[in-house]
A and B are shown apart, each in its own frame.
Chain A
Amino acid sequence: MHKFLFRRFLQSIGVFLAVSLVMFAMLQAAGDPIALLVGEEGTPEDIVRLRRAFGLDRSIPVQYVLFLRNALRGDLGISYHHGVPAMGLVLERVPATLELVLTAMLVATLLSIPLGVIAASYRGGALDRLFLSGSLVGISAPPFWVGIVFILVFGVLLRWLPTSGRGGWEHLVLPAGSLALYRLALFIRLVRSGMLDVLGQEYVRTARAKGLAERAVVFKHALKNTLIPFITIAGLQMGSLLAGAVVTERVFAWPGMGRLILDSIQKLDYPVVMSWALVTAGIFIVINLIVDISYSFVDPRVRVT
């Protein structure tokens, strides 16, 4: 296990480096942040001066090396647009995004298990069809649509919930809900199909034959075995949730990482984009690691590679 962890650690460093290099290259290719900073009405002297002030007058390889050197010291530079340390900007947004993403994850998971089980239990019945159609719509609607529909229905029409921004729990409902919708729909289908598979398995029939109560059959045996792939999926979904949060955060004006990265990419704010890339890569790597490890714990038959 230790060897495995160590190897993973080394590989993760490799990933960090690769991520930073590719991001850096792409940012350089994407345009000039200083021109954007001063706008049309700035003067050429401003540009030269600011370029020097931000260290952008050096050659690109030099810039990258400097960036790496500073990064190792924990200094990822000062945001061009905000004038404050970039890593700090990203890290202070993490709680908001995690709040959104974890809630969405929780909602999707907690609701999908019972709903998926119901659907599987009533295979072919009205409820099953309802959930299937509902989930179909859930995975087919463009995410920015869902957000605005929620805002219009629950915020403007019914006036039940606030239309945007972060605050108490009532501010969390719509954004987390709209972020969760796609995954909820997906999970319902997965749980349902997983349950259906497993319900047909030999040992389930054996258990049933042994006369165990239906409930025990359904829950204890079938569900436990559905959970194995489910954990994997859930873990991997975190990553895609982080990506989906970008649009949700924008629509709901949620002050999280996704909003920051979108703005920063559009403004070519290199230090912020690089910080964000590293933080996200880190989160991904940790998630993958947890998933791989817990996977091998839950089912010892699966070898950890």
Chain B
Amino acid sequence: MRRTMSRPPRSARGLPRWAGPALAALLLALPPAAHAAKEHFVIAFQGDAATLDAQGRNETTTISIQMHMFEALIFRAIDGGLEPGLALSWKAASPTRWLIKLRKGVRFHDGAPFTAEVAKESLLRAQGKGFAKSQMKHFTKGIKEVRVVDEATLEIDTGTPYPTLPEDLANIAIVPVDYIKKVGDAVFARKPVGTGPYRFVEWVKDDHIDMAANPAYWKGAPTIKKVRVRPVPVNAARTAGLLAGEIDVVWGVSPVDAPQLEANPNLKVYRTVTQRTIYLTFDHWRKEGGPLQKEGPYSPGLPKGHPNPFLKLKVRQAVAHALDVQALLKAVMHGSGVPATQLNPPQAFGYNHRLKRLPYDPARAKKLLAEAGFPNGFKTRLDCPNDRYINDGPMCEAIAGMLTKAGIVATPNPRPKAVFFPQMDAGDFSMFMAGWGTQYVTPTYNAVFHTRDLKRGFGRINRGHYRSEEADAIAAKASVEMDDKKRQALWERMWEITMGDLASLPLYQQEAIIATQKSVNLKPRFNEWVLAQEITLADKN
């Protein structure tokens, strides 16, 4: 049977006749709605702030946002150095006593005055007193007692000599303790009050945080009057916002997208090498491969019954020689990043500028393997996260590929960070890739290289169970050495030992890429913060 019905009259269609043309007219008449004059200066991060309690979370994006509204006693400068913040000066009057002179006349956004008493209470709160969820506690490790000398002077007693107190103080934000007492921690986390250049206006979680310039700021009100911070999780969408003119500063540009943006005359791209170093770690303690057991003797990344090659220095050196870090950076990161020789960046105190990487030399790698008793190489698993560091998944695969070419048949095993880190903590690896992101040598040593003793707080990141008594002794001496030159020499010796032993194999420092509209001028920060108060605009319209 062919068509059973005659064509219905036009009006029997679902849509009236004029629908088509009307729709077309509507579409064409649609104004470029997104480009009515933009009120705010918009900075887009990848994620939202976790909390606006400046002592509540130690995470880069969160702190970068908070540092618009809060300040610490000591200010972290753009190049990583220390400058006066709410403190005018600081001095070690004795090896265990520090005198800190505070700035006068500073007020919080709610008008409350900044005094030595407030500073003391802030430090105690960071230490966890009355605020169990503080994540700034480890920055207060050196603080044994805080004393108010007068309204503008603070005295800190460190018990034992603690040379890095200023570094720690630069990480502790000063909070309005009276306001917190009045409204409670939970409200403070959503409606913050600080001393910084911007005042809090509103926070719609996952959508935006609005801030307005603080006219009474002690350094003078900032040039940009209204700031909006937006979390846009998908890289492509963030970049699209920039291209469409809706976003002024994009944080976390993928190195893959950067070249196109650099070629765009309406945009500016800033690159800066950061303190985050990507490295490989080895299983230094288990003797042979086998299934994972709790505190068991087997190395799960190796085939059952096979001896653990990573116990031998020559094998670890072979791994180093097998990797061409420049080529890896060129291919996976499109040239973004810098090869590293140790786990701290060059600006860090204690950095050893004399150390050199083992050069790319696959022939030598094969030779070393043979000398170590593995003439035909060996098989291993390479564990890594796939959503924590820039391009970590592809980098993991590329590293595995390079190792395989040199005889170390590595199988990449990328997993989400929620799963990866706990499993690394449980020892479920023989070799893994991770990142370390601080420029402080003392916590670096204590966490990554110190003989593992979790009860005393050492070696939490020393998952490979590396041990060097010599290095432990040097580190112990350095952490109480008040003379800067001597301390520097001690730490340099530590790096010589640990990197010589290849306790871990540092690969490269990550580069942070920020893209902005043409009119934006900023100096990219070493610690990856983006602060509106440090931004100037070329032409204001």
Contacts and interface: CB of A to CB of B under 8 A. Distances in A.
Q: Do any beta carbons of A and B sit within 8 angstroms of each other in the complex?
A: yes
Contact of B437 (A40, A170, A218, A259): A40
A159 B9 CA distance: 39
Interface in B397-438: 416-419, 421-423, 425, 434-438
A155 interface: yes
Interface in B53-85: 53, 56-59
A41 B437 contact: yes
A160 B233 contact: no
Given A38-B58, A84-B189, A159-B244, A266 B417 contact: yes
Given A118-B13, A159-B244, A253-B232, A41 B438 contact: yes
Interface stretch (B127-135, B253-261, B265-273, B351-359): B127-135
B155 to A, nearest CB: 25
Interface stretch (A29-37, A100-108, A281-289): A29-37
Contacts of A213: 12
B241 A163 contact: yes
B133 A50 contact: yes
Nearest to A92: B205
B205 to A, nearest CB: 6
B32 interface: yes
A171 to B, nearest CB: 9
A73 interface: no
Contacts of A81: 50-51, 57
Interface string B99-138: 0000000000000000000000000000010001101011
A162 B34 contact: yes
Contact of A266 (B232, B234, B246, B416): B416
Contacts of A225: none
A43 B422 contact: no
B34 A159 contact: yes
Contacts of B473: none
A196 to B, nearest CB: 11
Nearest to B50: A81
Interface in A191-219: 199-200, 208, 213-215, 218-219
A251 B237 contact: yes
Most buried by A among B240, B387, B416, B436: B240
A82 interface: yes
B237 A163 contact: yes
B246 A162 contact: yes
B185 interface: yes
Contacts of B205: 82, 89, 92-93, 255
B263 interface: no
Contacts, number: 201
Contacts of A43: 137-138, 443, 447, 457, 460
Contacts of B476: none
Contacts of A118: 13-15
Interface in A244-273: 250-253, 255-256, 259-260, 263, 265-268
Interface in B258-316: none
Interface string B19-41: 00000000000101111000000
B47 interface: yes
A214 B9 contact: yes
Given A253-B233, A255-B207, A30 B418 contact: yes
A263 B47 contact: yes
A270 to B, nearest CB: 12
B135 A42 contact: yes
B33 A161 contact: yes
Contacts of A47: 460
Nearest to B424: A35
Contacts of B233: 250, 253, 259
Contact of A35 (B6, B132, B421, B438): B421
Contacts of A113: 14
B220 interface: no
A180 interface: no
Contact of A253 (B30, B237, B243): B237
B11 interface: yes
B14 A40 contact: no
Interface string A133-155: 00000000000100110011001
Contacts of B243: 156
Contacts of B53: 83
Given A41-B437, A113-B14, A83 B56 contact: yes
Given A42-B135, A81-B50, A32 B434 contact: no
A83 B186 contact: yes
A44 interface: yes
B8 A121 contact: yes
Contacts of A259: 206, 233
A57 interface: no
Contacts of A38: 58, 135
A156 B240 contact: yes
A161 B241 CA distance: 11
Nearest to B62: A81
A49 interface: yes
A49 B127 CA distance: 12
B418 A267 contact: yes
B14 A260 contact: no
Nearest to A85: B186
B279 to A, nearest CB: 11
A166 interface: yes
B12 A155 contact: no
B400 to A, nearest CB: 22
B11 A115 contact: no
7 contacts: A31-B418, A36-B417, A114-B15, A156-B240, A159-B32, A165-B232, A253-B234
Interface of B: 3-6, 8-9, 11-15, 30, 32-35, 47, 50-51, 53, 56-59, 128, 132-133, 135, 137-138, 185-186, 189-190, 204-208, 230-234, 236-238, 240-241, 243-246, 387, 416-419, 421-423, 425, 434-438, 443, 447, 454-455, 457, 460-461
Given A163-B246, A266-B387, 20 more contacts: A32-B425, A39-B58, A40-B435, A41-B58, A44-B455, A50-B133, A85-B186, A118-B14, A147-B237, A148-B240, A155-B34, A159-B244, A159-B245, A164-B246, A166-B204, A214-B9, A219-B12, A250-B233, A252-B237, A255-B204
Q: Top 8 nearest A-B pairs by Cβ distance? A: A114-B14, A255-B206, A255-B207, A215-B12, A162-B34, A253-B232, A214-B8, A32-B422
